[in-house]
Chain A
Amino acid sequence: MNTLSGVWTWLTTAANWSGENGVWHRLEQHLVLTFACLVISALIALPVALTLGHLGRGGALAVNLANIGRAVPTFAVLVLLLLTPLGRHGQWPTIIALVLFAIPPLLTNAYVGMREVDRDVVRAARGMGMTGTQLVWRVEVPLAFPLVLTGIRIAAVQLVATATLAALVGGGGLGRIITAGFNLASTPQVVAGAVLVAVFALLMEAGFELAQRCAPDRSRGRSR
Chain B
Amino acid sequence: MAIKTYREAITEALMIEMDRDERVIVMGEDVAGGAGGSAGVRDNQNGIFGTYPQFHARYGENRFIDTPISEAAIVGAAAGAALAGLRPVVEIMFADFIGYCLDQIMNQAAKFRYMFGGTSRTPMVLRTAYGAGLSAAAQHSQAIYPIITHIPGVKVAVPSKPADVKGLMLTAIRDDDPVIFFDHKALFGVQGEVPEGDTPIPFGKGMRYREGKDATVVAIGRMVHFSEAVVDKLAKENGITCDVIDPRTTSPLDEDIILSSVEKTGRLIIVDESTPRCSVAGDISSMVAMKGFDFLDAPIELVTSAHSPVPFAPNLERAYLPSGGRIEAAIRKAVEY
Partners in one complex: no
